[in-house]
Amino acid sequence: MKLVVGLGNPGARYRRTRHNLGFRVVDRLAERWSVAVGGRRHETELGEGSYSAQRVVLAKPLTFMNLSGEAVTRLRRSYHCEPGDVIAVYDELDLPLGRIRVRRGGGPGGHRGVVSLIAAIGAEFSRIRIGIGRPPGGADPAEFVLEAFTPEEAARIDGIVDRAANAVESLIRDGLEKTMGEFNRVLADG
């Protein structure tokens, strides 16, 4: 079983912000796999289905980003899964817009949602990090992540969300090493 957790913040105010890319990837996977994500259990919107002969739970924690670990702890208990079965999908300031990085383990890199996950379940979960870039002109990163994408950035977001969803599917289907080899390389289109 795989638990795919998109990190983000609940509510219409945050729907189109940089910090909600994880939610958008979960929504895209739900569309692809015909999985209904909704309702509220364990402080999370959930959907259950399968992909590549694996049982998959799609999750969007409703605890707000900085408390994501609380919801994931409840989900792990309910679904009896190990940290290695968790795939976290989230935005990353330290990568250029659209760049995807896949890894397992490591530190939080300053991302408070990942800090919460590590505190709750340890560091040995898989991560799909989606680059949003650094704020221009030294603007406050905490404000930057809660802003909507610029029109130029927004024009690229559907493709970026598709590529991140492809990375999740590859991780489930092909495993970590192959997925890292495919998605961690630098692409000419960013």
* C-alpha span between 175 and 159 (Å, rounded): 22
Contact 60, 75 (CB under 8 A): no
Q: Mark 32-44 as b/e (b = at least 16 C-beta within 10 Å).
A: eeebebeeeebbb
Strand partners, 127: 88, 103
Please count the other Cβ atoms lying within 10 Å of the Cβ belonging to residue 140: 9
Which are the catalytic amino acids? Answer: 19
Residue written as tokens 């679904």? 79
